[in-house]
Structure 1
Amino acid sequence: MWTKGWDFTEDLFNFVGCKNMKKMAPGSMKQCLFLFMLCVSLLYFLGRFKRGFKNYTYHLSNTNFTILLWHWPFGQSLSLNGDVCWDLYKVPNCKLVDQRSFFPKADVVVFHNRELIQGSQKLPIELPRPPGQRWAWMSLESPAHNGNLQKFADVFNMTISYRRDADVTIPYGELLPKEAEDHVAQESPVNKRSLVCWVVTNYQDYHKRSQVYKKLNAIVPVNVYGRWANAPLSSTELLPRISPCYFYLAFENSVAQDYITEKLWQNGYQSGAVPVVLGPPISDYKAVAPNHSFIHVDQFTSVREMGEFLQQLAKNQTQYNEYFTWKQKWKVKIYNDWRERLCKICKHKNSLPQYKVYSDLEAWDKVNYSLV
């Protein structure tokens, strides 16, 4: 109807029958102008309706992908009213439920490992599993705390874990690129008063992290907080207490593939202290964390060498500040809501394994780990 190069106004005048307006009577000219404005208005609202309808149909199409959480982790339930995945996290076509009556219709049924191992929850093996339904094993614990998984052989079709090779990866934290508005706010410098800080609850002498702490504390002073030190910190006290420290000991309680917890993402990065990490190999940290943003214990031949390095680095403000240059482009995202983690399953629904069965979940879980 309209030309490709389109003089929109001329074409629209022709469309409403007003090609020769100069030769028209005043009454006919007013009628043409009215029709012209009416068409413009209709086209405008039709365009807006089309865009809105497209988004609406995209949101409602294929709404039958249902995730059933068989039991809440640690017994701490959250509201699932409304379209949770869309309303909170803008994940479309995802129905998250915890009513077991949805079992025959669920595409994925998620079981949290802790309750299964403790015996407070059981697998519904007596129920006939609908064709195509996947059972998902979920855990954010290290293998040292997952218990004996041999009894789950040939049960689960998918894994949900912090591991990068899990079918659905739900890390404790990750980096997101900063938006334009994120660059506006500048962090206020914090007056550093302490060299090294550590927050610890579970202290065991045989842990490698405890042995490293003892040796380091003999070289440089380490301020220790947490239940073990009879100095517990509330969630609101944690970061303000760590912020005045140059370095924070982000020591994991287990060495396991990709096992990098909030000790790095929250206690280290968000506090403004440089994290000194002890956990999986440095290659695992480099795969998810910014380059030159942390110090790994394995970088040194001895704890004494590391302690001397920390002392020297704290005295050189220019070199110390280089450990924070990553904040110019990146920000830290912390995951602590199980609903957000579960909604992430829908983002991977098209790539989930169709006929996969974990014949040896125990072997998959316990890959190269040890207590530290």
Structure 2
Amino acid sequence: MGCYNTKKTGLGSMKKFLFLLSFLCVLPLCLLNAWWRTFPAHTAVNPSSFRNITILLWHWPHGKSSSLKRDTCWDLYRIPRCRLVDQRSLFPSADVVVFHNRELALGHQKLPLDLPRPQGQRWAWMSLEAPIHNGKLHQYANIFNMTISYRRDADVTIPYGQLLPKEAEGHLVDNVPLNKSSLACWVVSNYIKHHKRSKVYQELKAVVPVKVYGRWTETPLSQNALLPTISRCFFYLAFENSISKDYITEKLWRNAYQGGAVPVVLGPPLGDYKSVAPPNSFIHVDEFASVKDLGEYLQQLAEDKKLYSEYFTWKHQWTVKLYKDWRERLCKICSHYNNLPQEKVYSNLEAWVKG
């Protein structure tokens, strides 16, 4: 009897073990099935995530072309699966066709409306100009699927510049230029008397000395002399030629920030600057009740080394990145492509541009 009981007990233990093993094997499958059912039935992987996206540039901006040898987007900018081309013969296979507005506005180029447009192909309107310089756009209603602009609400934003985090913090003492010989300076080529920036300049120079350079004056600057000259100024007048939403050009990023002068900015509202630049790194004209008050504040800062140096604390953590190569701007399209609505069409491009 004792021997029989031992065998029976052994068989019972084996059954329990097999049952437990089966349960442990089935449980993960049940959990996986329950998790999978939480996803919508229409959820699917976008096939374009795993293939090359072909970007066709219909014409080069301002007629200045660059090399597109080999895998440009990957070789230069480490953007994968992005094929940038400029051969119009590739139009039928292009995922995106980009048209730079300047050449369209001047009549130097035209849209290929006579060609059969492949299903799913997106046409992109691209401009870095302020709205006033984009010409008439009403004829482009219901044509473009994508906007490429400096504006933050564009489908693909390509700013003139931006600040990127430094890998390691710098030392403030190395970042505050001290060889200052002029209170304020301004580089201007196109001086139009009725522009707001011209009026502010006229009022400001009555309060503080402003050194003016550029084609408008008899003291033009070469590209090599630009930043060294600005570095000798306490303040740089980063005055935009157009007061437009998000329109912040190289006057801030290159001339002031890289030149080593505190930027006095005039352009879009203060909030637009705060969205892209750290606090206490610029002075906005609109922060003052009058230009006279602005001038007096600049004079005070120039005389107070400690207060002036606080406008360079951003250099601890940030470095300036300029966007000058159109290839980099165009390759950026691929980074956004899969996140853009496939059926989007601008029914009123002109309204968006002027908005």
- For the aligned pair, the TM-score class normalised by the smaller chain equals 0.7 to 0.9
What is the aligned partner in structure 2 of residue 294 from structure 1? 282
Which of 240, 246, 254 in structure 2 is aligned with 1:252? 240
| CA-to-aligned-CA distance 1:44-98 (integer Å, 9 cap, x gap) | xxxxxxxxxxxxxxxxx83431000000000000000010000000000000000
Runs of 4+ in 1 over 4 A off after TM superposition: 181-185
| Alignment-derived partner of residue 197 in structure 2 | 209
2:73 counterpart residue number: 85
Within-5 A mapping of 1:152-163: 152-163=140-151
Q: Aligned runs of 1:1-372 on 2, under 5 Å?
A: 62-180=50-168, 186-187=174-175, 189-367=177-355
| CA distance in structure 2 between the partners assigned to 1:320 and 1:190 by the alignment | 11
In 2, distance between residues paired with 1:248 and 1:184?
20
TM-aligned CA deviation for residue 231 of structure 1: 1.6
Matched position secondary structure for 1:192? coil
Paired letter, 2:129: E
Alignment TM-score, normalising by the size of structure 2: 0.84
Structure 1: any 5+ residue segments left out of the alignment?
1-60, 368-372
Given residue 235 of structure 1, which amino acid in structure 2 is its aligned partner? Q
* Counterpart contact for 2:161–2:323, Cα < 8 Å: yes
Helix, strand or coil: the match of 2:201? helix
C-alpha RMSD over aligned residues: 1.6
Q: Secondary structure at the match of 1:340?
A: helix
Could you tell me the percent identity over the aligned residues? 70
What code does the residue aligned with 1:197 have? C
Question: Distance between the aligned counterparts of 1:188 and 1:366, measured in 2?
Answer: 39
Contiguous gaps of at least 5 residues in structure 2: 1-48
Say how many residue pairs are matched. Answer: 308
**Could you give the per-residue CA deviations for residues 137-172 of structure 1, whole angstroms, max 9, x where no partner exists?**
000000010011111111100000000000000000
What is the distance in 2 between the residues matched to 1:353 and 1:68? 19
- Which amino acid in 1 is paired with 2:202? K
SS state at 1:255 partner:
coil
CA gap 1:182/1:344 in 2 versus in 1, 3 angstroms: farther
Tell me the TM-score normalized by structure 1.
Answer: 0.81
* CA deviation after TM superposition for structure 1 residue 218, in Å: 1.0
How far residue 353 of structure 1 moved from its aligned partner, in angstroms, is 2.0
- CA distance in 1 between counterparts of 2:275 and 2:169 reads 27
